[in-house]
Homo-oligomer: A and B are copies of this chain.
Amino acid sequence: MVDAVARVTGTIEYVLNFELPGMLHGRTLRSPHAHARVMEVDGSRARELPGVACVVTREDLDGIEPRFGLFLRDQPVVAIDKVRHVGDPVALVAAESEAIADEALALIEVEYEPLAAVLDVEEALQAGAPLVHEGPRELVSRRPDFVERGPGFAETNVIHLFTQRRGDVSAGFADADVVVEDTYSCPPVQHVSLEPHVAVTRFEAGQLTCWSSSQAPHWLAEQLAQMFRLPVTDVRVIVPTLGGAFGGKVDPTIEPIAAVLAWKARRPVRVCFTREEEFFTGTKHGARVRIKSGFKSDGTLVAHEATCWYDGGAYARETPEKIFRGYVSMGPYRVPNVYVDSWGVYTNKTPSTAFRGFGVPQVAWAHESQMDVAADRLGIDPLELRLKNVYVAGDTFSTGEVLDEEYHYPELLRTVAEKIGWGTEPERDGPRVRAKGIASIIKGMSAFASTSTVKLNADGSLHVLTSSVEMGQGALTSLAQIAAHELGVPVERVRVSTPDTALTPFDQMTAASRTTNSMGRAIRSAVEDVKEQLLQLASEQMEIAAADLELADGFVRPKGAPGHALPIQAVLGRSRLGNLLGSGTYFKPIHLDTETGQGIGAPQWHPCVCGCEVEVDEETGKIDVLHMELGLFLGRAVNPTQCELQVVGAAVFGLGQALFEEIVWDEAGQLLNPNLSDYMIPSFLDVPPRIGVTLLEEPDTTHVHGIGETALPSVAPAIANAVSRAVGARVRDLPLTPDRVLSLLREPKIRDRPGSVPGVVRA
């Protein structure tokens, strides 16, 4: 990693460590109710506490737009009419220390009128359910389909609906020999970044500067600009390296709080969330997915119907974008007849947000469990059933796109199967049973533009300006490698910026496994731009046509006459231009028809297969994952070591979600485990003793597939399929806690084996 020395010497810059002289500390008073009308907020006693610089309640927001939101402007910086989840911000304090601010919070008096809360997605969609948001909706016109359909959901708990209609699903099911229908669920989980949300904000001379741990600096700048009614040139968002993010830092969360405090206090303000506050701030979407799959008796998938309910929690955040992942609810399998409804739903819980996997793990959990159920019903080996249906080049996606590149699913499936020794029966050793499972998934990448500028310096070194965020995933390294490779110089002569929206060009966000692909392409195009200028300069200096020159190893040379090479710095030195400037943009927009979901679903698709062997202890219900193999087709691996580490990291994330991660609310909407004693994440002891990664490359391709999330969605179903095979019963709800495993053991054993009558299996 290009920042390896800084990492090991402890000199990486994190916002967590950033200080400004005279900085105040901000804290947030949060709602104890899941749903309540706010009758009165009285900050007067708090304001009188020595050391308090300001208290912000709903009375203090005159002159600004108090709400924000990337798709729906529905989230106020502090509660205005209602609180909508436990932990919803109600008032803010900035004081000389966090301790004083906390003391002041205790002096703020709030009168609530509790309202009935709705906590379940299906209940939330029923007529007469309590409304999380009343009144009209203020849409941010980020996507045409959203603007078209959004207003129809006013006065309901629907955030948004994605629909997909392809072929004739009724005819498909009529034609099927076996129809399998089941419902699968997974709970909200937390990102648990080592570095919590943190922001330092200064509002001086009409300019707002925000040092933030954001994954989406330009989106954040835009949102802050809208709140304070400024051009984005008056807002500056600076993002150093993050201590982890995993999707939890895509949306504005802490920054509007810090900005409003700095605006009111007229002094810089730092806000850093506690671990408990992290659980009130954002979670992965809990989801329920009902799938109905129709197969011919030879295993051919002919019809797919799915209803997905994504639990958006109290605010829309990125839910309108997330529910599109219904388009992969059939998995990486060709199916001519598709009918999908994918709902984003408000409930009175912590707002859901982006989370590593970006909506895919929820549907992958369903379709890969379903494939194994179907395999059993069809009497076909699960590997064979997948091999029969997986995409190959020329197949058509659910979106109608034709797969124009080979994703090598059959090769990945066979390789992973071979590595885990697929094809053996479960083995028992006392109370412990070992069995194997496999799962394959497809993940679409998010669109939006990536842009970059580059600066080729007089000494031949290269500055690359991007707004890609380094959050431990190695973006600075892989982007530097891409630029160095394109220019033909060592990576040590390339430096990639961290984001500063006043200086670095637009990028939507560092998320959705898009950076190496999208920003990589933008950088390649920018380097191509300076290369052309450089060859043109050399052409004039050497009196050789630019087309007859090439760039290699830091030299410009006539093709076929390397002896006449000029170093880059000599060409630039002679030109006396100081530097050459290039820019590049990559944007392959998605466009899906509002009704049919047909069109372009992603600029790039990412394939993964996971296979594993587990050991289930039938006495304790404990699952040990003994061996895990991940196979991914990458196109081209920019940095194989980083790729492998990212795959392992994603797999361990998947493992935690498979085995024990779950945020729990009680029936009143109180969050029961907002801390790292009660909420478990994987430790090194949970990591399988054997993890193998197969990175399949196609050296001639210029495609670079995203790798940050790709492994994650396949892990939980692979583990669950192995567990089901071990205990002979199907688990449908994550996580696979010992309790759930023990209750599985009490269920009737799976008996749908070859020869049984095709039909519907209900949960």
Contact = CB atoms under 8 A, between A and B. Distances in A.
A100 to B, nearest CB: 22
Contact of A459 (B231, B451, B463): B231
Interface string A552-588: 0000000000000000000001001111011101010
Contacts of A461: 231-233
Contacts of A459: 222, 225, 231-232
A5 interface: yes
A577 B585 contact: yes
A19 B22 CA distance: 12
A531 interface: no
Contacts of A495: 233-234, 502
5 contacts: A141-B573, A448-B578, A451-B577, A576-B589, A577-B587
B231 A508 contact: no
A503 B504 contact: yes
Interface in A1-24: 3, 5-6, 9, 11, 19, 21
Interface of A: 3, 5-6, 9, 11, 19, 21, 141, 204-207, 218, 222, 225, 231-234, 448-449, 451, 453, 455, 457-463, 465, 492-495, 497, 500, 502-508, 573, 576-579, 581-583, 585, 587, 589
Contacts of A582: 583
Given A204-B6, A233-B495, A585-B577, A455 B222 contact: no
Contact of A233 (B5, B9, B493, B507): B493
A503 B503 contact: yes
A462 B3 CA distance: 32
A21 B506 CA distance: 31
Contacts of A581: 451, 453, 505, 583, 585
Given A457-B232, A581-B505, A205 B449 contact: no
A222 B458 contact: yes
A577 B457 contact: no
Contacts of A504: 503
Nearest to A141: B573
Given A6-B204, A233-B457, A448 B576 contact: yes
Nearest to A460: B231
Contacts of A3: 205
A494 B233 contact: yes
Contacts of A500: 503
Contacts of A492: 231
A266 to B, nearest CB: 10
A573 B231 CA distance: 15
Contacts of A493: 231, 233
Contacts of A576: 448-449, 587, 589
> Which residue of A5, A232, A234, A494 has the most chain B CB atoms within 10 A of its CB atom?
A232
A281 B577 CA distance: 30
Nearest to A501: B463
> Which residue of A11, A205, A448, A497 has the most chain B CB atoms within 10 A of its CB atom?
A205
Nearest to A500: B503
Nearest to A11: B204
Given A233-B493, A453-B453, A495-B234, A578 B506 contact: yes
A474 B577 CA distance: 25
Contact of A449 (B222, B578, B585, B589): B578
A504 B461 CA distance: 15
- Copies of this chain held together in the complex: 2
B231 A453 contact: no
Contacts of A497: 502-503
A719 B244 CA distance: 68
Contacts of A449: 576-578
Given A225-B459, A457-B232, A577-B451, A9 B204 contact: yes
B587 A465 contact: no
B505 A579 contact: yes
A506 B579 contact: yes
B451 A218 contact: no
A576 B590 CA distance: 11
A455 B231 contact: no
Across the A-B interface, the 4 shortest Cβ-Cβ residue pairs: A506-B578, A6-B205, A231-B461, A233-B495
Contacts of A451: 577-579, 581
A430 to B, nearest CB: 53
Given A222-B459, A503-B503, A576-B587, 20 more contacts: A5-B205, A5-B206, A6-B205, A9-B204, A19-B21, A141-B573, A231-B461, A232-B457, A232-B461, A233-B457, A233-B463, A449-B577, A458-B506, A495-B502, A497-B503, A505-B578, A505-B581, A507-B578, A577-B585, A582-B583
Contacts of A141: 573
Nearest to A5: B205
Contacts of A462: 233
A585 B5 CA distance: 36
Contacts of A218: 578
A234 B465 CA distance: 14
Contacts of A11: 204-205
A495 B3 CA distance: 31
A465 B577 CA distance: 17
A507 B458 CA distance: 12
Contacts of A204: 6, 9, 11
Contacts of A9: 204-205
A481 to B, nearest CB: 14
Given A205-B5, A205-B9, A206-B5, A505 B233 contact: no
> Which residue of A225, A453, A589 has the most chain B CB atoms within 10 A of its CB atom?
A453
A589 B574 CA distance: 11
A742 B507 CA distance: 71
A218 B576 CA distance: 13
A225 B458 CA distance: 12
A448 B578 CA distance: 8
A457 to B, nearest CB: 5
Nearest to A19: B21
Contacts of A573: 141
Contacts of A508: 578
> Which residue of A218, A495, A500, A589 has the most chain B CB atoms within 10 A of its CB atom?
A495
